[in-house]
Structure 1
């Protein structure tokens, strides 16, 4: 348990003060999950001055938030975790919502209470017992993790980087392995399964890490990383246009990354990955970045779910229980006339959060009103290859018709996505100051994490 979590746990034992600006007569809103969607909803509704909202409470098992599309940079150590994370306690104070540390483990829908599991210290001591948190409106935004599809050995032998803690754990391990390489002269072999945006971007960041480490004298001239990227499908970045997929593959290979396509992993071992064709990909560090799956407990709430554990929602982001909403990666919504649900991306999560921020207060003020349904706009997709290159596909609306951008324009567009997220959390001016601080630190501090 972190120091921030211990402080929050102690605060649970004391009476919780009403957030400033609330009347005590409106609805109790509980948001479970402090990712892109959950934190934006809690921040916006917490700041809202409205008699229809009594309290806004954010629940998360972690103590801080990191923008999910940035996790691969935290894992590689090319970004400083301490600088890029948003601590929930501090954000709750600034945005006038309450923060409750804990992990949702169940739901009592008849009493409208969220069930929270006990909080335990690393040595097994119970710090906070199980609790029940009452709600009038519940927003579930618990995100998703990688999906191992039942592949043997993945849970035992692979790292995943789908959360702040997991990304930091991988970074700690890779820095230990770098020390081994520095003293033994052996090559560090890293294999990544899954050539979606996460796998591709992580591979590029590891190339940058290796080059920077060599420049600092950490690995020596000859001890470069050996990075292998394995994709079960016929091409990398399968959700992107083929033009971008091919350009990305060629760029990665030019950077020294070995790209294997149509390589289905049969099993993971301590030595590497065995493919379905019998080939063994040796790797001392193994990362699983394939597939998307929502948390298992969502299937036990009595709500409709998909095979990937996602909660089915209507065009108002409501689950099969009208008092419960679901947003982001843990929600499954299919646009009218479409066959496939919206992809689990930060873009979708943000648009769903914005819809609920605008809609929920009006519904609380006018019970029974029928709001306009959620409308999604595809702004395209971006992938960044560290400092080397970036590619983007433009959305199909207005003047855009699915064009392709690359290079500095795509890099700037990728940066602006993150800075826009910061501005929504902190406000325009404070978000701008954070950007300035990052620019200054990039000139003054080491380019990779060396501690």
Structure 2
């Protein structure tokens, strides 16, 4: 008696569970199942990276915000492997994933080797210090959940210590320096200002943010939010000025020291805490692929998001994809979302054994939104439709900014679960402080 066997499925392995990687895994998993789709990430929980500045300020609780990859895998029918990528054997088409170790050093899950037919790199980016002396050693970055939590605890500790010092020195200040005036730096500055006022209401009677906290943003370019339209930059600058944030433009940081930041023109800014948000580069793990990279370590991909190895694709911040006028697609969440949709169609055809679409990915700039606190925002929308873009500000812009997060949740949870989650978080806020205090 002869038995028929179905062919083995085309194995797609996605490394990196950020916005783009997770949305791609969810999209493909629902269509092709866990035998075909595997997601690999070094962390057990997913956090939407644009919200890390809120976690750093304490206005967002990571433990409540995070979504567990294992639960998402079950809901969306993909396989999940916990561990960091350590090596890639391109000839054998296999990757090695690191062992999972408990906090006390015990190996929980051993190192694993995973075979792939198509490997998709979606590992995101990391901070670029541009060789600035002392920056890596003395500045805090905002690339991961752990770094956001570290900054929050350091900030909370500094506030309490200053509260005690005010009894002895009425002139004592808490000095915060943010290097880089992109979206992360600007959003963090306003969030810290608002968080400071909330914390002062919880037992810190001597701490008055408007008097005791000095926030300075240092930007090397001529204006803040340099990649966005000037009208957005101007509105954001006015908001920063309104809350007392000091902005220094055309100012290059030469060195970061314990307790201060030195600039190229010889000035020194006191810094109890220094946050580095001045640029990105590719993750060091990309070096394991031995594939062409651009000058900041991103993988070079063509219009179809292929690297020079046809079995390896890349999307999001780790990829340098062609755009226009010799520029690359900007590292934005909307680009990762669009690329995930594009690769969903391309890989869908590949898994089915059909001809892949030959049209390349084209980045569509739908505008930009910047959060300027809980009740304010600023941005431009529909740039492609109107030519110049529709300027929005205030509460409307803030609500639209929040909707971007909900759209991401919709892509991985569906409409029903997203609505339930949003309602649950709204109700929880009524019983909790605005800032995480522990």
Alignment partners' CA distance in 1, 2:205 and 2:273: 16
2:344 aligned residue: 357
Matches within 5 A, 1:134-153: 134-153=115-134
TM-aligned CA deviation for residue 319 of structure 1: 1.1
1:146 touches 1:162 (CA, 8 Å); kept in 2?
yes
Among 157, 164, 174, the residue aligned to 1:183: 164
1:213 touches 1:219 (CA, 8 Å); kept in 2?
no
2:376 touches 2:393 (CA, 8 Å); kept in 1?
yes
1:26 aligned residue: 9
**Superposed CA offset, 1:10-53 (max 9, x none):** xxxxxxxxxxxxx7721111110010011111112111147xx8
2:182 aligned residue: 196
1:282 aligned residue: 270
TM-score, structure 1 length as denominator? 0.90
Matches within 5 A, 1:238-249: 238-249=226-237
Alignment partners' CA distance in 2, 1:49 and 1:33: 19
2:79 aligned residue: 98
Alignment partners' CA distance in 2, 1:438 and 1:124: 35
2:346 touches 2:356 (CA, 8 Å); kept in 1?
no
TM-aligned CA deviation for residue 272 of structure 1: 1.4
Alignment partners' CA distance in 2, 1:31 and 1:58: 5
Alignment partners' CA distance in 2, 1:172 and 1:444: 22
Alignment partners' CA distance in 1, 2:42 and 2:11: 20
Among 366, 370, 385, the residue aligned to 2:372: 385
TM-score, structure 2 length as denominator? 0.93
Alignment partners' CA distance in 2, 1:157 and 1:121: 28
Secondary structure of 2:435 counterpart: coil
Alignment partners' CA distance in 2, 1:227 and 1:155: 20
1:77 aligned residue: 58
Alignment partners' CA distance in 1, 2:32 and 2:79: 15
The RMSD of aligned alpha carbons is: 1.9
Alignment partners' CA distance in 1, 2:355 and 2:391: 44
TM-aligned CA deviation for residue 105 of structure 1: 2.1
Alignment partners' CA distance in 2, 1:405 and 1:155: 37
Decide whether aligned partners of structure 1 residues 69 and 395 sit closer, same or farther in structure 2, where only a CA change above 3 A counts: same
1:65 touches 1:164 (CA, 8 Å); kept in 2?
no
TM-aligned CA deviation for residue 229 of structure 1: 0.8
Alignment partners' CA distance in 2, 1:344 and 1:308: 12
More deviation, 128-137/365-374? 365-374
2:35 touches 2:78 (CA, 8 Å); kept in 1?
no
2:292 touches 2:308 (CA, 8 Å); kept in 1?
yes
Query: Which structure is higher in RCO with an 8 Å CA cutoff and minimum separation 6?
Result: 2
